[in-house]
Amino acid sequence: MKDKIKIKNDQGEEKEFDILFSFESENTGKTYVVYTDFTKENNIIKCYSSIYEEDGKLSPVDTEAENNIIEEMLKTLSETAKIKYGKVEE
């Protein structure tokens, strides 16, 4: 998987995103990718996630259970970074 991805929005405009990480869930057997363009909302960097298909295409995450798996992974990685590198400043 590359470090960056390009995604078209509903208007057909292409936007580039940085891939933060990807992982395969043992619960679903699917591979998820989490990415960002580093825009902030309420002083928090917005992150997006998709299912990474074997053919390299992205599919939307449709279920609350899958969203919960991704959120737990984000929390775990965030806490690991804080432990390893100290408080992460903005």
pLDDT of 42-59, one tens digit each?
988 899 999 999 898 999
% of the chain exceeding 90 in pLDDT: 59
Q: Which residues are 77's β-sheet partners?
A: none
Per residue of the chain (90 residues), what is the pLDDT tens digit?
569 999 888 899 999 999 999 999 999 999 999 999 998 999 888 999 999 998 989 999 989 999 999 999 988 888 776 666 666 555
Rounded (5°) CA angle 54-73-56: 15
Rounded (5°) CA angle 58-75-79: 135
**Cα–Cα dist 42/83, whole Å:** 24
